[in-house]
């Protein structure tokens, strides 16, 4: 099964996250978690899935701000 990790960074705060196929994980030790208790909005999950395989270099999420996609890593599981 092919999968893609998407590493993205908030353009103002610099918080860096990785979409691992299930949840955006903060890559900085003292960074902010995406949502309390791991509650991911289903619309956000669908949005991140739509980024896989695409060529977008940035995106914006309402109530979260603008992000730059830093890197895409294709993996096989």
Confidence of residue 28 (pLDDT cuts 50, 70, 90): confident
For residue range 31-75, list pLDDT tens digits in order. 888 988 778 989 999 999 999 989 999 999 998 999 999 999 998
Please give the Cα distance from 76 to 74 (Å, whole number): 7
Place of tokens 């599981």: 77
User: What's the pLDDT at 1?
Assistant: 66
Confidence of residue 12 (pLDDT cuts 50, 70, 90): very high
User: What's the pLDDT at 76?
Assistant: 83
**What is the arrangement of strands in the sheet containing 24-26, beginning at the earlier edge strand?**
24-26, 16-19, 2-10, 65-76, 58-61
Closest of 5, 16, 18 to residue 72, by C-alpha:
5
DSSP string, 15-28: -EEEE-SS-EEE-S
Q: What is the pTM of this model?
A: 0.89
């Amino acid at each position: 099964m092919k999968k893609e990790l998407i590493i993205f960074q908030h353009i103002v705060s610099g918080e860096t996250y990785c979409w691992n196929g299930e949840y955006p994980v903060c890559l900085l030790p003292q960074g902010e978690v995406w949502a309390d208790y791991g509650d991911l909005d289903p619309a956000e999950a669908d949005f991140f899935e739509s980024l896989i395989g695409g060529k977008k270099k940035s995106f914006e999420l309402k109530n979260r701000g603008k992000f730059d996609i830093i890197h895409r890593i294709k993996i096989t599981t």
